[in-house]
Structure 1
Amino acid sequence: MSAIGKFLASTAATLAMGVAGLTATAPVHAQQAPQVYCASNDNRFARCQVPWRDAALMQQMSKTRCIRGQTWGFDRNSIWVDKGCRGQFGPAFGGPSYGGPGPGRPPGWGATQQLRCESRGGNRQLCRVNLDRNDSVRIVNRLSGADCREGRSWGWNRDGIWVDQGCRADFVIERLR
């Protein structure tokens, strides 16, 4: 056997022993969800692409408050920030964009509710539903030709979901119990 062959055989044997040792003795640690830094520098609007269905603010990095629907939001697989909001963002509830309700959801993951909310004649409309800060709201079906952009033509607060500027859509509310 050549020197290269002996080296490769020795390396493979060492790796096999190391992997066997790791699987037998290494502790299992929870995998940390990926995070993305997104910043509104000089109070300018910015967008950061992510592969998630929804995002959560993990850590605010600015003096300006980062408020979902006002200074940051999520639409079309991207986080948008504005008016000086800077922060670390991660997937909402730890789920990747391709993930369903399976792994990655925390214990106590609750029910979903669907609601249609429509801005008629371009006017602002509040569709009343009790929402909690731990709830997640997203569009599942846009019904209008008008753009539905979170923080601009739709948003939510504890009183419900609001739409404006002709936005009409079906929304899903995911609740933690």
Structure 2
Amino acid sequence: MIVVLMVWPSVKAAQETVRRDSERRVRCESTDGAVERCLVDTRRGVRLLQELSEGVCAEGRTWGVEVDAIWVRDHCRAEFLTGFGGSGIDTGYTDRVVRCESRGGRWNQCPAETSTGLEMVRQLSKNPCIRGQNWGWDKSGVWVSGGCRAEFRAVGPASERKAKVRIIRCESRDGRPQQCQVDTGGMVKLRRQLSKAPCVEGKSWGHDRGGIWVERGCRGDFEIGGGGG
């Protein structure tokens, strides 16, 4: 008599397989300094695992996370671990973030959910992004032109209930004064300083009806609409 033993994989082994599938090592490289997007599911978070360049990978400046990709720029080269927490984009209905960039001043359109409208959450370009002039949306997605580069988010019921916060980057290059045109509504605060030169409100940065101004080498990300000064 022949006895056939059926061995079923344990629940623990199955869970380990699922965990390995959801955790991926991704190499993303900006070899010529240009922006490079590496498509990957970022919903479970992204961590910088190993930098392959020489100290140029800084989150928010030379690498970051979109809904469906990791982006790198300015010669950042690194391996990233996905599916293990860390930085990430909440892909809920109201937090779908889309990056759209007008390179060389050219018109560009990026696929996006626009049925409920869009808002700009972070400007990435020196050129001001002004709704209706060099950015907007239609049924096909969000469009930009005139050098506008920014991140956009679908407007939904949840984002209408909370205070709308926008992040604007404004930079004084070589110590020169710079005005970043944006409707501040009188509510601005420095969220993150990016420069070695200090950003001191009233001395090297401030805001007025024309937007946010910086000088003396101050470079920073500014929060608008979050209850700042």
TM-score (norm 1): 0.43
State the structure with bigger RCO (CA 8 A, min sep 6), 1 or 2: 1
Judging by fraction of residues, say which structure has more helix.
1
Q: Please, what TM-score do these two structures have when normalized by structure 2?
A: 0.34
Highest Rg: 1 or 2?
1
